[in-house]
Structure 1
Amino acid sequence: MEIQPIPGFTHPVSSLTHLIGAGVFALLAFPLWRRCLGCRLCQVTSAVFSFTIVLLLSMSGVYHLLATTGTAHEVLARLDHAAIFALIAGSFTPLQPLFFRSVWGRWGMLALVWTLALLGIVLKVIFFQDIPEILGLSLYLGLGWLGLGSGIALARRYGLRFIAPLLWGGLAYTLGAVADFARWPVLIPGVVGPHEVMHVGVLIGIGCFWWFFYRHMADVVTLPAATADYAGAPRGKTTAIPQPRSTDKAY
């Protein structure tokens, strides 16, 4: 579907949704960071998460306001697609070190995700024109849903309700990406098509992950003694995070 441009914006809805989103989540980085006071690891990982959000949304927003020809468009197209990998890895960055206990759960998984993300970035930047769309989609979704194992481990430990925002966020990302690939639906011809639907899905997905971390970052700072050692938090305080079941193993 061909999108009708307006002065200054080649793809108005796609550009404006993500530019506005970049501004909103840049502001929301501060309350998220404040929830982490008392835990340096929380502060660093939340900053990485927020940075990758703003990076993706700003690159995407600028890319979609540019004309569809020229060097700037080609460069921003690569940065836009590369930033997707950065956001996926950035979303793992607070999750693994703060909510898991084992060396693999905390750092092994995070190293794996960032390594795959960096490989994806290199592939997208160098072979942008040569990578089939279905392969690009598979790489994004495969890397994102690599977190399913982490989600299952958290659900076993704390219950399904605990991970609900992560699950809804993953579904929003996935449905948006599939809609864009399928070129459906066209909600308003010439204005809102599948790609715009994907952009909204991205914002919903980011919002779900942001809410999860905002809700539980403060709890991580005050995790009880059983888990404080791996969160870098003080001992002996209470938390709103559901207590792990006694039969669960560390992941």
Structure 2
Amino acid sequence: MRVKEPVNAWSHLLTAAAAVVGLIYLVARYSEQTAGKLSSLIIYGASLIVLFLASGLYHAIRTTPKKELWLRKFDHISIFLLIAGTYTPVFAYGLHGAWQVTMLSVVWGLAGLGMVLKLFFMHIPRWISTLIYVALGWIAVVPFVKLFQTLPTGAILFMFLGGIAYTIGAVIFGTKKLDFFPGKFGFHEVWHMFVSAGGVLHFVMVAFFIAAMQ
């Protein structure tokens, strides 16, 4: 089978494979954490795998228009899943009490709404989708003071760096800039590179700073 978009497909399928290894590491390394915290790590790792697997498959498989639409929906829906999944350990470790419950409820509630939106209104303008992704992705600014007080400096740094990588990629995707070699390595491929970079940076945040908190 000839891959539909080789760079986009393989970059994210390889990142999905790395995410599987990452999830195994998280579970093995932090197996003695409380059930709630370990669950948050598993949710994060699973969402990371789903995002890159969904993206990789959508950009790899040549199929009928109807099936391709469902693969595309899965791809876009998984973005909301990863945003909420990434914030799950951030809020589980970094917030407490009402703040924790509220922020987890808000991020998953908004992500759920985004998933429904993509399921039924797939053809909304690109700029609207980009704006929603970026706005939800930066929701940590709401409890930032609380997070700054509880999370290690390294976690804050890699959270910011990952957010910047995702945001730059989203802007490139939304504006179609940096279209170097259209069809081979254009704005879409550049966007995928930034998404993979953001995923790696946030994995460092979770695996080596947040989950390591005592």
2:173–2:187: 8 Å Cα contact kept in structure 1? yes
Cα root mean square deviation, aligned:
1.8
**Pairing partner for 1:148 from 124, 136, 141:** 141
Asked if 1:48 is matched to 2:47, the reply is no
SS of structure 2 residue aligned to 1:219: coil
CA contact (8 A) 1:9 1:65 kept: yes
TM-score normalised according to structure 1 size: 0.79
Q: Which has more radius of gyration?
A: 1
Once residues 40 and 211 of structure 2 are traced to their aligned partners in structure 1, the CA distance between those partners, rounded to angstroms, is 13
Verify the 8 A CA contact 2:163 2:198 in the aligned structure 1: yes
State the one-letter code of the partner of 1:184: K
The residue that corresponds to 1:22 in the other structure is 16
Aligned to 2:196: 203
Distance apart, 1:51 and its partner CA? 0.7
Alignment of 1:1-251 (within 5 A): 8-39=2-33, 40-67=35-62, 70-104=65-99, 106-129=100-123, 131-157=124-150, 161-220=154-213, 223=214
Show structure 2 runs of 5+ residues with no match. Answer: none
Q: 1:191 to 1:68 in 2, by over 3 A?
A: farther
Deviations 1:72-103 (CA, angstroms, capped at 9, x unpaired): 11100111001000000001111111111232
Matched residues in 2 for 1:147 and 1:112: separation? 11
The structural deviation recorded for 1:159 is: 6.9
TM-score (norm 2): 0.92
Deviation at 1:10, TM superposition (A): 1.2
* Contact 1:17–1:200 (CA under 8 A) maintained in structure 2: yes
SS in 2 for 1:8: coil
Larger helix percent:
2
User: How many residues are treated as equivalent by the alignment?
Assistant: 213
Distance in 2 (alpha carbons) for counterparts of 1:46 and 1:126? 30
Taking the aligned partners of 2:159 and 2:29, their CA distance within structure 1 comes to 19
